[in-house]
């Protein structure tokens, strides 16, 4: 199953997005303290305008460019304060494309591991290429003093193989696919790659089945970097 086509044709907003709503709430809380009227945000792998919808719910007048290669890009969210620019392309294609405008904020939510997988190598190499590409994209498209907001899932530190296996079976039954630990990112990987500590970093248990959130080993993480 490839990282892009697996999202083609699914009703993302009403299925997947509802399951990972804890992640989106955390992103919303953090963005509320970091965005200003007139900002441009580039959402990388934003599905059917998920970043645009989160920011619109904050009521901040902004422009959101969404770089998304799957057919979910054809679903246009209803927005009132956000000007929305959907671009149907992969992150790799976006590296060579001219963006409509430079960004005050790069937003990447739950798509880092999917984008990395597209590099087709082992997880460690995939992440290395992901960070090289991200730095190129930042250099080209992020304004000086701009911020990067990364929302990413991973497993609780110290979770056992048995716990991860159990979680993966649940994830597969609810979302159709799951990821081994090595494919998920950690905040340390972002920090070491950008040679910077996050200015904000928060994590929350994310129970996909909406049961007791403390009983899950899945974590929603959001980290903000300024480089
Ligand atoms: C789990 S979804 C996350 C969507 C959205 N950001 C959210 O928070 O709900 C992962 C997204 O990454 C996108 N994706 C996969 N490979 C990609 C690539 N190479 N470039 C850009 N987006 C990609 C998928 O199509 C999908 O929409």
**What is the atom index within ligand 1 of the atom nearest the CA of 72?**
27
pLDDT value of position 210:
74
pLDDT value of position 103:
98
103 neighbors 146 (Cβ within 8 angstroms): yes
Assess if CATH 3.40.50.150 describes domain 16-225: yes
Ligand 1 centroid from CA 91, angstroms: 9
pLDDT value of position 215:
86
Low-confidence residues of the chain: pLDDT under 50:
none
The b/e string for 193-206 (b: 16+ C-beta within 10 A; e otherwise) is bbeeebeebebbeb
pLDDT value of position 187:
98
d(CA 106, CA 88): 17
- The domain limits of the chain are 16-225
Ligand 1 contact, 77 CB (< 6 A): no
What's this model's pTM, rounded to 2 decimal places?
0.97
Report the residue among 22, 47, 52, 208 best suited for mutation to probe ligand 1: largest number of ligand atoms under 8 A from its CB.
Answer: 47
pLDDT value of position 211:
73
**What is the atom index within ligand 1 of the atom nearest the CA of 45?**
22
The b/e string for 121-153 (b: 16+ C-beta within 10 A; e otherwise) is eebeebbbbbbebbeebbeebbeeebbbbbbbb
Ligand 1 contact, 112 CB (< 6 A): no
pLDDT value of position 128:
98
pLDDT value of position 13:
96
């Amino acid at each position: 199953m490839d990282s892009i086509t697996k999202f083609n044709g699914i009703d993302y907003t009403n299925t997947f997005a509802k399951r990972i709503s804890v992640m989106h709430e955390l992103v919303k809380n953090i963005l509320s303290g970091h965005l200003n009227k007139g900002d441009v945000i580039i959402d990388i792998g934003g599905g059917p305008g998920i970043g645009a919808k989160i920011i619109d719910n904050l009521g901040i007048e902004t422009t959101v460019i969404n770089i998304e290669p799957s057919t979910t890009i054809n679903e246009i969210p209803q927005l009132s304060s956000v000007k929305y620019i959907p671009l149907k392309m992969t992150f790799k294609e976006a590296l060579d494309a001219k963006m409509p405008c430079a960004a005050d904020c790069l937003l990447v939510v739950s798509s880092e591991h999917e984008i990395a997988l597209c590099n087709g190598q082992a997880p460690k190499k995939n992440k290395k290429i992901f960070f090289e590409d991200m730095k190129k994209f930042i250099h080209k498209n992020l304004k000086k003093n701009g911020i990067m907001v990364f929302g990413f899932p991973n497993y609780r530190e110290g979770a056992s193989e048995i716990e991860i296996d159990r979680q993966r079976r649940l994830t597969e039954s609810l979302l159709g696919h799951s990821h081994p630990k090595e494919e998920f990112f950690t905040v340390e990987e972002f920090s070491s790659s950008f040679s910077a500590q996050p200015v904000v970093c928060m994590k929350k248990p994310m129970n996909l089945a909406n049961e007791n959130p403390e009983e899950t080993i899945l974590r929603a993480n959001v980290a903000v970097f300024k480089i």
